Amino acid sequence: MALTDWFSLRSPLDIEGEGVRLRPFAWSDYPEWSELRAASRAFLQPWEPVWPADDLTRAGFRRRMNAYQRDTDLGVGFAFLVFRQSDGAMTGGISLSNVRRGVAMTATVGYWSGAAFARQGHTLAAVRVASRFAFGKMRLHRLEAACVPDNEPSKNLLLRAGFQQEGLASAYLKINGKWRDHLLFGLVAPEAGRDVS
């Protein structure tokens, strides 16, 4: 199912709630995004794939933006930056990727927080808001997420957002240069009997 089958292109992908605003990347976000990511490198790198050498450059940002726009155009992925509503500060990012329709009606949730904004509730709020968007506007049935077993803050965030731990996947993703096991989490749409708040 294409993006236009479920969402009007005239409607902005701009979502607000619980003290945060989620919106797609814009070219003008580059300075703030690159500064936040650079300042958070040591905090983020243990939990992410190895960053390309040019990741924080304008060329790297352009490549990222083009990939996100392609996924959005195809309706298979939606990447958002997260902003604190009180002052507009960028706090991190969240994505709904690997969108599958048909009999699955699911997507994968991924997120990151700038080090200066960690454990302040912004990312939890973003996961909750993105979940409501996925189950509402996108009409998905299920969301999936994963984290390495020793990432206790991420595990706790998912549980607080209503996800249930469902299993363990061996050597699931290549994180910081190594294939790492991941805990698997799932959240089913509230009409299926689960709460997303």
- Which domains are present in the chain? 3-191 (3.40.630.30)
Query: What SS3 state is found at 67?
Result: helix
Kindly report, residue by residue over 65-118, the tens digit of the pLDDT.
999 999 999 999 999 999 999 999 999 999 999 999 999 999 999 999 999 999
Structure token pair of residue 62: 């352009």
Is residue 194 within 8 A of residue 163, CB to CB? The reply is no
- Helices 152-160/122-135 angle, 10° precision: 50
Asked if 50 and 88 count as a contact pair (C-beta separation under 8 A), the reply is no
**Residue 12 confidence class, pLDDT cut points 50, 70, 90:** low
HSE, CB side, 13 Å, CA atoms: give it for residue 41. Answer: 10
